[in-house]
Amino acid sequence: MSIINIKDVQIKTLAERIVLAIREIAGPGPAALHEPSFAGNEWLYLKECLDSTFVSSVGKFVDRFESDLAMFTGAKYAISVVNGTAALHIALKLAGVKANDEVLIPALTFVASANAVTYCNAIPHFVDSENETLGVNVSKLRDYLISHTEQRAGCCINLTSGRVIRALVPTHVFGHPADLDGLLAIAHDFNINLIEDAAESLGSYYHDQHTGTFGLLGVLSFNGNKTITTGGGGAILTNNLALARHAKHLTTTAKLPHLWEYYHDEIGYNYRLPNLNAALGCAQLEQLPSILSAKRELFIKYQNVFAKIEGITLMAEPAQSYSNYWLQTLLLDSNLIVKRDEILQATNDSGYMTRPAWILLNKLESFKQYPRMNLETALLLSKCLINIPSSPGLNKNNG
């Protein structure tokens, strides 16, 4: 006779209860992780582009989208580009990142962060995360920099490699603002430029100020799975006029204005956002307040059902923050980590798209050789996080 382990029975019941909890909110399914909502002027604005024939990088919607973004976020300037990775690439260049410089980025983030650093021929330097925000662990990073760096001629020097640490790029993970007070203090104290990766946090605020507007520069993404979408697309935010002008210049192939001649005064990039995509973005921005409201209501509904399940915590916005709740996130108690994949299998088999956090960047073959601090918290978080269906339409359809 086989012996049944009561813990296995309980864990199996847990997976089933998670499926039922999601079903209670998302309906019978299937349910995507995050799909766009087109309920406004998208068709009207796209038709206007087609009728006018301005479908590429010239057209009124590009200027309007940038103006609307600046107004919504409170940034003085917004420069639209083809995607969030391009935005970060240019932001790094504007912040002075050069070949062989190091850039501090969290190990727990999307691979685009490390990719953009390498586009500058610079070195990703991976740092740890914290449980409260899922963002950079400020106190641990400060201690690490105190013991591993020194100041020379106004630059932060890595004592091990001898390289300049030029920038710090924190991510507002899943839309939850990182500890910006602490990050700004580190940037100031160690002479490091702060570039916010706000790709996931459009509509998120820290002390009532929009994310992406605290550092020297910030970047946004409008990929198809983001809070609003332009199909593909991104933006650079800054309050510095000179940087804004240079960003626009670099992302439009560094061409000097002229009626007919093509003269480019530096190496530029064809990162312009087409008018078609900007038109979609304008319509999406008009709906952003209602989308954010629906996502917050969805969080409250999920919070109510998951509060009844032991061993599961629904990630809530950090203190002093207002999150857009881009992706609703479950955190498993440490004793349940071994069953994470079982939960992922059960939910996906039931038609509810769920996914774990990213594999830590330092574990990817392309980045194994790069410097890193102790990453124990990021490693634990990568094993215990599960994103669940988060589309704003779930709240509308199953309220």
pLDDT band at 213 (very low <50, low <70, confident <90, very high): very high
Note the pLDDT of residue 346. Answer: 96
- For residue 215, the model assigns a pLDDT of 98
What is the predicted pLDDT for the residue at 260?
A: 94
Q: Residue 172 pLDDT more than 50? A: yes
Query: Among residues 381, 369, 358, which one has the least CA distance to residue 129?
Result: 381
Specify whether the backbone of 242 is left (phi greater than 0), alpha (psi in -120 to 50) or beta: alpha
Helix (H, G, I), strand (E, B), or coil: what is residue 379? helix
What pLDDT was estimated at residue 194? Answer: 98
Mean pLDDT of 281-307: 97
Per-residue model confidence (pLDDT) at position 249: 98
For residue 3, pLDDT over 90 is answered with: no
What are the residue ranges of CATH 3.90.1150.10 in the chain?
6-35+287-397
The string of DSSP letters for 211-270 reads TTSSSSEEEEE--TTSSS--SS-EEEEES-HHHHHHHHHHHBTTBPP-SS---BSS---B
Q: Quote the percentage of the chain above a pLDDT of 70.
A: 96
For the residues of 171-202, what is the DSSP string, one character each?
A: B-GGG----HHHHHHHHHHTT-EEEEE-TT-T
Give pLDDT, residue 6: 37
Give the three-class secondary structure for 362.
helix
pLDDT in tens, 260-270: 999 999 999 99
In this predicted structure, the answer to whether residue 398 has a pLDDT above a threshold of 60 is no
Pairing of strands 312-314, 321-322: unpaired
Going by C-alpha positions, the residue among 159, 165, 218, 163 that lies closest to residue 190 is 165
pLDDT score for 13: 79
In the chain, which ranges are E strands?
Answer: 77-81, 102-106, 123-127, 149-152, 155-158, 164-168, 193-197, 205-206, 209-210, 217-221, 234-238, 312-314, 321-322, 329-332, 355-356, 385-387
* HSE toward the beta carbon, residue 349, CA cutoff 13 A: 10
- The reply to whether CATH 3.90.1150.10 applies to domain 6-35+287-397 is yes
pLDDT of 395: 58
Residue type, 228: I
Average pLDDT, the chain: 95
The residues of the chain that CATH labels 3.40.640.10 are 42-284
Q: What is the mean pLDDT of residues 160-177?
A: 98
Query: Coil, strand or helix: which one is 360?
Result: coil
DSSP, res 368: T
pLDDT tens readout for residues 339-367: 999 999 999 999 999 999 999 999 999 99
3-state secondary structure of 325: coil
Q: Which token pair is 197? A: 């990766």
User: Averaged over 154-177, what is the pLDDT?
Assistant: 98
Sign of CA dihedral 72, 77, 80, 84: negative
Tokens encoding 150: 């020194």
DSSP 317: P
Question: What's the mean pLDDT in 154-179?
Answer: 98
Tokens found for residue 343 = 């939960």
Q: Please tell me the predicted confidence (pLDDT) of residue 4.
A: 37
* Per-residue pLDDT tens over the stretch 33-60: 999 999 999 999 999 999 999 998 888 9
Percent of the chain with pLDDT over 90: 93
Check whether domain 42-284 has CATH 3.40.640.10, yes or no: yes
pLDDT value at 66 more than 50: yes
pTM of the predicted protein model? 0.94
Question: At residue 329, does pLDDT exceed 90?
Answer: yes
- Residue 381 contacts residue 176 (beta carbons within 8 Å): no
Query: What end-to-end distance do the CA atoms of the chain give, in Å?
Result: 48
Of 74, 42, 35, the C-alpha closest to 61 is: 42
364 CA to centre of own chain = 19
Per-residue pLDDT band at 227 (split at 50, 70, 90): very high
Per-residue pLDDT, averaged over 199-226, amounts to 98
Q: Supply angle C-alpha 79, 81, 85, rounded to 5.
A: 115
Residue 396 has pLDDT above 70, yes or no: no
Give me the pLDDT at residue 11, please: 43
On whether the CB atoms of residues 213 and 74 are closer than 8 A, the answer is yes
pLDDT at 12: 58
